[in-house]
Amino acid sequence: GPRRDLVVRFPPPQNDRAMADRDRKAGGGGGADGAAKPISQRRFEAVMRLVGRIPAAPKWTGIYKLQAPLYDLIRPSMWIQSCRGLQTNWSTATWEIRNPKVEDPMEAVIARLQTCDKIKSQHTENKSAAMNEAEFSVARVSRDGTSGARFKAYFFTARKQWLDIVEINLLRKEGKLVADVSSRSAGMIPASTPLGPILSILLFMVPFKDFGQNRIHLVTLKKHLEDVGFTVDESDITETFMVKPKAKKSD
């Protein structure tokens, strides 16, 4: 029979839409029609200074790429999210994708997504290198016959190469091409830190925040499709935290 890859998946953190509704009612969460809770630029910069103290191997060693598949397999940062129903370092959405100029939109979408490694900047107003610089890497592409396809990419942050895992599940549905998309942080310790996956397991109970990074990854890939003529209608958005820019000093 056809080869099947062995994949271990942990359950997603509760129901995404239910969690978004809960957070909107509480006045502090994200969603398609609710504002994400902002954090100050000053706090963001303070976190980045702490990030600089985390030991990591130089990028040229490639350790972060070697450890990425193990991180993907275990995803320790998602354990506490699932157990406590938290929403601090992951984002999801639903896309409806159209492009009347292509014969097979699903195959065209997959082909375009496979060029994500050419993206150098994320689609965000924050121009700091930590948030703006992009490094996507295609991890896997598979197909469910002719009815659907699955795309997975790794995103490594500019500083220390923290790993976020982006998954796009495409499905032909009633003549439409629909995609369930998600981006989730893999672990608290960077992928460039030796034994990072093991250290992240030890720290799995810490529900760290992603500062909106996972949402930005999805927005960036959406823009990547739109740049070549696709129309992408987005709904059922869940997101976490955004950075609030510094107020400009008056002259």
| Alpha-helical segments (H) within 58-204 | 63-74, 77-84, 105-113, 129-132, 196-202
Per residue of the chain (251 residues), what is the pLDDT tens digit? 443 333 333 344 444 444 444 444 433 344 333 334 555 667 666 766 776 678 899 999 999 999 999 999 999 999 989 888 888 899 999 999 999 899 999 999 999 999 999 999 999 988 888 889 999 999 999 999 889 999 999 999 998 999 999 999 999 988 899 999 999 999 999 999 999 999 999 989 888 888 899 999 999 999 999 999 999 999 999 877 555 555 555 54
DSSP code of residue 125? S
| Alpha-helical segments (H) within the chain | 16-26, 41-51, 63-74, 77-84, 105-113, 129-132, 196-202, 213-226
Global pTM value: 0.78
Check if the beta carbon of residue 81 is closer than 8 Å to that of residue 14.
no
What Cα–Cα distance (Å) separates residue 181 from each residue in 42, 171, 174, 203? 31, 11, 19, 27
Strand, coil or helix: 144: strand
